[in-house]
Structure 1
């Protein structure tokens, strides 16, 4: 299993991480918690914030993703 994101990491969540995040629904996400809930092998629940293009938090969410599909965020706060 790939390394899990850590609190404070900003990751790009797209279709490789979960089918619910197609190219049109992909988000940059600041992780605030990685849950240790038992789930399917290769999947994890994350709490965090969806970021806008300026890097500001606009929505808090809990998402179910495959860590292998997470990528470094494309945008950073400038």
Structure 2
């Protein structure tokens, strides 16, 4: 029996159509703030990419620009 996949998240309405090279400064600032806030709350880069309609690389760049320290790969250790 295969393990069930996780549901794919829909792009949030505020980010629909904003994934272009010509973003306004306001759109970019909102993306950086959203990614930093949600990543700190525990969301993965993969989830953020789905929610914002961007690639994982674009989300990584946004986190770097926002000055967010990224977590290591894989699940956290149970102690």
- Common fold by TM > 0.5: no
| TM-score, length-scaled by structure 2 | 0.29
Q: Which of the two has greater helix per residue?
A: 2
Q: Which of the two has greater strand per residue?
A: 1
Rg comparison, structure with higher value: 2
